[in-house]
Chains A and B, each alone.
Chain A
Amino acid sequence: MESLLQSLLGDNLLTVVLYCALPLVFLLLYALLAILGEVKISAWMQDRLGPMRTGPWGIIQPIADVFKLLQKEDITPAKADKFLFNLAPFLSFMSAYAAFAVIPFSSQYVGADLNLGLFYLLAISSLNVAAIIMAGWASNNKYSLYGSMRAVAQIVSYEVPAAMVLVIIVMFVGSLNLQDITTAQSGPFWNWMVFGGPKQDVVLASGEVLSASWVNLIFLPFFLASFLMYYIAGLAETNRTPFDIPEAESELVSGYHTEYSGMKFAMFFMSEYANMFLVSAVVAVLFFGGWNSPFGVYLGDAFDAPWLVAVEQFGWLAFKGLFFVFVMIWVRWTLPRLRVDQLMYMSWKVLIPFSFGIALVVGFLVVIL
């Protein structure tokens, strides 16, 4: 992909910027789709129609929403800490977007093919915490402060089980590179991690050979549990129901973004949606084969068109990611919200011990097999 751009535009700054901006284009389109999905899916679940006035079946509602947000007055409370108040939404979105650098969208495109991809992912997505506490503190509003304190406690708590699950996968694959993890799962869907990992030998991009066999089926229950734990932790990290305690509408009005309006609110909104896709994409990459086709074959191979393969791979990742975003929306409109102490209980007394236990067992199995 990079070489394609270089051949088209030459080796200059524009190429690099374009290369970096590609996920942003995707993200903006995805955000529109997700907003529409949220309103429409919730409407169908709740036995109503949802927006119907803007375009056929209201499909241009998200664009109208964006215009509404653009037109809104940008209010900074008089007693807010202006610098931090203005910085927080951008930092929040930045941390969400920067994490997309290591997501392999296809075998041809990954923003930064880092060897420490998962480390980078953990580190950069934690920046969101700083943005949230900045927003809560700078707003000079008690609800915001409560919301941000809850958010920080929650995100920091759930980072631990999430990181532990990542360790499990890393132990199995032997690489922190997300592209490698995806390659390890190539072939038909039973090679996906959630089904116990690859059943045949795989050559990684780095030249290593990952030997595997049907014995790997023994990993299935552990990886299935890890997948569920990671998804739950991911729900908590993105502050989605049933873990939407930091912005619990009925308690804290709107949590840390109570005082935000207009585009700054939209930035927080965008970062929430970006984080939703990020978590979904990581779930897809770690457990559901990333950009791998579930059938192990691509239409592009039949026509001998590598560009079609890349597009298909991107399509599969987007499909898997969007499916998990859909599940998040589904969960949101079904379940009530937990309480602060129950949330902490869930993380420290359930998820963390279980994830450590699974890590131990998987570690043993990897060594033995």
Chain B
Amino acid sequence: MTESMEVLKAGIASGRLKTDELVLNMGPQHPSTHGVLRLELVLDGEIVVKVIPQMGYLHRCFEKHAENMTYPQVVPYTDRMDYLAGMNNNHGYVLAVERLMGIELPERVEYIRIIMAELQRIASHLVAIGTFGMDIGAFTPFLYCFRDREYILDIFERTCGARLLYNYMWVGGLSHDIYDGFLRDVADFIKKFRPTVVEVNNLLNYNKIFIERTANVGVLPADVAVSYGCSGPMLRGSGVDWDLRRDDPYSIYDRFDWKVITGDGSAGTLGDCWDRHMVRVWEMEESCKIIEQALESFPAEGDIASAIPKRIRPAKGEIYTRVENPRGELGYYLIADGSANPFRLKVRGPSFVNLSVIDEISRGHLIADLVAILGSIDIVLGEVDR
């Protein structure tokens, strides 16, 4: 009794009652770790003291596989990394091989690729926005987002037969040409899609509770973001004006007029969860703009298979190619040794890199905030673990 009183007095004297820290395993089976991520949380009550991410539950040896496959055979594997953005993954990989081989693409292929990549970006952001809302506890916007994503997946399905894992972009071309009415479908989709943004804004993004939950939470300063190599909405949410589509242009992005969305901290601090979230929301609108412009100048004629090489065997050499994936900078470091298989293919996944910052920005927050932070980073475990 006296001893515990002593402890109590000492605790009060120090201004803070010291309690034991608790280690909580969040995941790999947990509703909000977005897959099979395990976070070892060191907690002081409800306050997060340290986060130790443990990955690898979904490691499928992509890089090892790639070394034992021919170049075209790798394409389907890239779909499976970031399974929410298969088109963008295809795009990055084929771009690396094409640059290594010096292939010039027909206009039509470039245009279709851009439209597909931007549709995929919208689809991926819709999932990110919906699941982020769900992490905060709002279930309904999630289904509104998925409803619109269905339209995109339907378009993809009619084009290449697959809804999630497309294997659509091949080295030098595409697997299928677009179907009759594709352009009309895409234009229709954009018309249908724009009201959804307004709807989700009204229901979720400008909801007082939502703003209270996400503003000033998980603030990522710009210099920390750069040092951690964060990219995509994560980096732009911190106010860094950087988008590879504009700053390291690939394909034909330099032909279109659109603007890079950056966070402005209008709800709280620059670089908080709300900023990252809103960057995604407004980026969908920019993607719509790109698609509209691409539809306007879409080349009516063209052969999508004319540039596909008969034999894909790049000469000895190496290249690092990066594209702007919905989650950020997706880099492929490809070393060719002159054989039919890649000598080494290293993938720099944006989710992997963005996730590394979680310990830095979630210390001192509550568990509920940690969930919000994790949701705003928007990871796909298929890519973190590869």
Most buried by B among A42, A47, A244, A251: A251
Q: Assess A242 versus B368: contact at CB under 8 Å? Given A248-B137, A249-B31.
A: no
The answer to whether B137 and A46 have CB atoms under 8 Å apart is no
Q: Are A142 and B209 in contact (CB under 8 A)?
A: no
| Beta-carbon nearest neighbor of A145 in chain B | B22
Q: Cβ of A334 and Cβ of B135 under 8 Å apart?
A: no
Q: Which residues of A contact B (CB under 8 A)?
A: 42, 45-48, 142-143, 146, 241-242, 244-245, 248-253, 333-342
Interface 9-residue window, one of B55-63, B139-147, B229-237, B309-317: B139-147
A-B contact count (CB 8 A): 78
For residue B223, CB closer than 8 A to chain A, the reply is no
Q: Are B366 and A336 in contact (CB under 8 A)?
A: no
Q: Given A242-B137, A242-B209, A244-B137, A340–B366 Cβ distance below 8 Å?
A: yes
Q: Check B136–A334 contact: CB distance below 8 A.
A: no
Contact A336 B32 (CB under 8 A): no
Q: Fill in one digit per residue for B273-311: 1 if any A CB lies within 8 Å of its CB, else 0.
A: 000000000000000000000000000000000000000
Tell me if B18 is interfacial: C-beta within 8 Å of chain A: no
How many angstroms between the C-alpha atoms of A248 and B371 in the bound complex? 11
Closest residue of chain A to B374 (Cβ to Cβ) is A250
- Nearest B residue to A334 via CB reads B140
> With a CB–CB cut-off of 8 A, which chain B residues contact A249?
31-32, 137
Q: Given A46-B140, A46-B143, A46-B144, are A335 and B207 also a contact pair (CB < 8 Å)?
A: yes
Q: Number of B interface residues, CB 8 Å? A: 29
Judge whether B213 and A338 touch: CB under 8 Å. Answer: yes
A47-B147, A248-B137 in contact; A336/B204 too (CB < 8 A)?
yes
Do residues A338 and B371 form an inter-chain contact, with CB atoms below 8 A?
no
Q: Please name all residues of chain A whose beta carbon is closer than 8 Å to the beta carbon of B134 when the two chains form the complex.
A: 250
Cβ–Cβ < 8 Å partners of B65 in chain A: none
* Contact present for A336 and B136 (CB under 8 Å): yes
Pair A341/B140 contact, Cβ less than 8 Å: no
B42 within 8 A of A: no
Q: Which of A46, A48, A244, A333 has the most CB of B within 10 A?
A: A46
A337 to B371, CA, bound (A): 12
Given contacts A47-B143, A48-B143, A336-B204, 11 further A-B contacts (CB under 8 A): A46-B140, A244-B137, A248-B137, A250-B32, A250-B134, A333-B139, A336-B138, A337-B136, A338-B213, A340-B366, A342-B213
Instruction: Give the residue among A244, A250, A253, A333 with the most B Cβ atoms within 10 A.
Output: A250
Is A142 within 8 A of B24, CB to CB?
Answer: yes
Q: How far is the CB of A351 from chain B (nearest CB, A)?
A: 16
- Are B368 and A47 in contact, CB atoms less than 8 angstroms apart? no
What chain A residues lie within 8 Å of B135 (beta carbons)? 250
A340 and B368 within 8 A (CB): yes
Which residues from A are CB-within-8-Å of B366? Answer: 339-341
Query: A151 CB to closest chain B CB, in angstroms?
Result: 13
- Taking the closest CB of chain A, its distance from the CB of B364, in whole angstroms, is 13
Contact residue among A248, A252, A253, A335 (Cβ-Cβ distance under 8 Å from B138): A335
